[in-house]
Amino acid sequence: MNENFADGKTSGKSRPGRVKRAGASCKGSVTSLRKKAKKYGGEKGKMYHWCANMKHGRKKMNKESIHEMTICNACAIAMLEDIRDGVIETPLMEAEYRGRKVKLNKPMRGDVKKFKVYVKDPKTGNVKKVNFGHGGTSGKKAGQKTMRIRKNNPKARKSFRARHNCDNPGPKTKARYWSCRKW
């Protein structure tokens, strides 16, 4: 049975005219609609979010793919409660390495080599620091030339990827994986 009223209205919130009744309008750019969604709360704010998503062409969010977007406070609190209760699983983004918090799987400028990245070793479960790239500043101090990454040179890129077997980069805990990912 699709109806819940005798006059034929359907159940749920999919009734036509919901945006207009809330006092919102879908006119304007996606950016302006997002600003209005932040400004207004309640049903009106939800409708501005809905309009922005429809204009931008976003699909409904499911548990497998959570993308960064602007959401209302009530929705954010509900999502955080779901994460806490284990309904939504989140990948580990921060961990502790030698007594300080570090971001995982995010390459940054290195101290020993040109780049460094912190990764969680699946075998041991420990956080590991992976240094990769040419010597960088430490190489410069030693009197070596610092190499430039010539990513925009197709020949150099092709030979680098062939030399390092980037079609098969190996585990995240090795420098080759991250060098290939940069190239």
* The predicted structure's pLDDT at residue 131: 92
Give 8-38 pLDDT, tens digit per residue: 555 555 556 888 888 888 888 888 888 888 8
Q: What residue ranges in the chain does DSSP mark as E strands? A: 94-97, 100-103, 108-109, 115-120, 127-132
**What secondary structure letter does DSSP report for 118?**
E
Rounded Cα distance between 97 and 126, Å, is: 9
Rounded Cα distance between 79 and 19, Å, is: 24
Domain boundaries along the sequence of the chain: 18-85, 94-182
Strand order in the sheet with 115-120: 108-109, 115-120, 127-132
Q: Which residue has the higher pLDDT, 90 or 157?
A: 157
Q: Which residue has the higher pLDDT, 84 or 76?
A: 76
Give 101-120 pLDDT, tens digit per residue: 998 988 998 888 888 999 99
Give 37-83 pLDDT, tens digit per residue: 888 888 888 888 888 888 877 555 554 545 556 677 777 777 777 76
For 32, the token pair is 């302006």
pTM: 0.47
